A and B are shown apart, each in its own frame.
Chain A
Amino acid sequence: MTHCPSCGRFVGPYEACPYCGARQTPRVSLRAVKWTALLLATVGLALLWVAAVRLPLPRISINQASSTMNFAYVEIAGQVVRGPTYNPDSRSLSFTVADDTGEMRVWAFRDVVDDLRAAGQIPALGDQVTVAGTLRVREEDVSLTLNAPEHLQVTHPRVKERTIGSITAADALQRVRVRGQVWDLREPYSGLTLITLRDPTGAIDLAVDSSLRYLTGDFRLPDVGQSLEVIATVSLYRNTPQLIPPSVRDIILLEETVPVAEKRSIGTLSAADEGRLVTIQGTIRQAEPFSAGYRIFLEDDTGSVLVLLWRDLYSALPDSSSLRADAALEVTGEVAVYRNILEVIPTRPRDVVLLTVAPSARALPIGALAGEPLGATVTVEGVIVAAESFQNGFRLTLDDGTGQVVLLLWLQVYDELPDPASLREGAQVRATGRLEEYQGQREVVPDRWADIAITPPAEPSSRREIASITRADLGAIVTVEGTVTRSEPFSQGYRVWVNDGSGEILVLLWQNIYERVMGRERLTPGTPVQVTGVVDEYRGTLELIPSLPGDVIVR
Chain B
Amino acid sequence: MESVEILRYFLFAIIGALAAAPLALLPALHIYNVAGLVILGTVAMGSLLPQEHLAMLFLGMITSYAILNTIPSIFFSAPDESMVFIVLPGQKYLMQGRGYEAVALTGIGSLGGIAVLLLLTPVASRLFPTLRVILQQHLHWILWTVIAFMVLSEWPKGSDRAPAGWQRWWDGWRNLAAGLATFLLSGLLGFVLMYRSLLPVYAAYQNLLPAFVGLFAVPWVLQNLLAQVELPSQHIARDVDATPGLIGRGVFAGALGGLFAAFFPVVTGGIGGLIAGHATAQRDDRLFIISQGASKVVYYVGGFLLFFVPGLYLTRGGMAWMLSTLWRSYTPQAYYLAVAAVLLTGVLSYFLLLALTRGVIRVMGKMNYRAISRAVLVILIMVVIGIPALGEYVGSHDGRAALQAALGGLAICAVATGIGLIPVLWGARRMNCMGLLLLPIALNMSGLGATVAGWLGLLG
The chain A residues found within 8 Å of chain B, CB to CB, are 1, 28, 30, 33-34, 36-42, 44-45, 47-49, 51-53, 55, 57-58, 60, 66-74, 90, 110-112, 114-115, 134-135, 137-140, 147-151
Contacts and interface: CB of A to CB of B under 8 A. Distances in A.
Interface centre among B51, B324, B325, B394 (most CB of A within 10 A): B325
A58 B196 CA distance: 9
B192 interface: yes
Contacts of A112: 447, 450
Given A33-B226, A71-B207, A150-B454, A55 B198 contact: yes
B325 A41 contact: no
Given A68-B39, A71-B205, A44 B422 contact: no
A149 B450 CA distance: 8
A69 B205 contact: yes
Contacts of B425: 30, 33-34, 37
B444 A52 contact: no
Given A36-B418, A45-B188, A57-B196, 4 more contacts: A47-B415, A66-B395, A68-B203, A69-B204
Contact of A30 (B196, B226, B395, B458): B226
Nearest to A91: B137
Contact of A150 (B181, B192, B324, B459): B459
B226 A58 contact: no
B453 interface: yes
Interface in B160-215: 181, 185, 188-189, 192, 194-198, 200-205, 207
A49 B203 CA distance: 19
A147 B205 contact: no
A72 B415 CA distance: 20
Interface of B: 39-40, 42-43, 51, 136, 181, 185, 188-189, 192, 194-198, 200-205, 207, 222, 226, 228, 321-322, 324-328, 391, 394-395, 411-412, 414-415, 417-419, 421-422, 425-426, 444, 447-450, 453-454, 456-460
B196 A73 contact: yes
B393 to A, nearest CB: 11
B203 A38 contact: no
B450 A38 contact: no
B196 A53 contact: yes
A70 B322 contact: yes
A37 B421 contact: yes
B421 A139 contact: no
Nearest to A49: B192
A148 B421 contact: no
A274 to B, nearest CB: 51
A258 to B, nearest CB: 44
Contacts of B204: 68-73, 135
Contacts of A90: 136
Top 7 closest pairs, chain A to chain B, by CB: A40-B418, A111-B447, A72-B204, A148-B450, A41-B418, A37-B421, A52-B196
Nearest to A51: B198
Nearest to A40: B418
A408 B326 CA distance: 81
Contact of B328 (A1, A53, A139): A139
27 contacts: A1-B228, A28-B226, A33-B425, A37-B417, A37-B418, A40-B421, A41-B419, A44-B414, A47-B415, A48-B189, A48-B198, A52-B458, A53-B456, A53-B460, A66-B202, A68-B39, A68-B202, A69-B204, A70-B204, A70-B321, A72-B202, A72-B204, A111-B447, A114-B447, A135-B204, A137-B324, A147-B444
Given A73-B196, A110-B447, A41 B205 contact: no
A190 to B, nearest CB: 22
Q: Which residue of A68, A72, A134 has the most chain B CB atoms within 10 A of its CB atom?
A: A68
Contacts of A150: 450, 454, 459
A68 B40 contact: yes
A49 B450 contact: no
A73 B202 contact: no
B367 to A, nearest CB: 19
A73 B203 CA distance: 11
A44 B198 CA distance: 13
B66 to A, nearest CB: 22
B34 to A, nearest CB: 15
Nearest to A45: B415
A15 B328 CA distance: 62
B459 A67 contact: no
B423 to A, nearest CB: 10
A114 B459 CA distance: 18
Contacts of A45: 185, 188-189, 192, 415, 418-419
Contacts of A74: 201
A150 B454 CA distance: 9
Contact of A147 (B42, B181, B449): B449
A135 B321 CA distance: 12
A543 B360 CA distance: 120
B422 A48 contact: no
B395 A148 contact: no
Contacts of A34: 421, 425-426
A546 B366 CA distance: 126
A111 to B, nearest CB: 3
A42 B422 CA distance: 11
B421 A52 contact: no
Given A69-B204, A111-B447, A48 B421 contact: no
Contacts of B411: 44, 48, 51
Contact of B195 (A33, A73, A111): A73
A148 B205 contact: no
Given A40-B414, A41-B185, A45-B185, A139 B201 contact: no
Contacts of A37: 417-418, 421-422, 425
Contacts of A42: 185, 418
A135 B391 CA distance: 16
B204 to A, nearest CB: 3
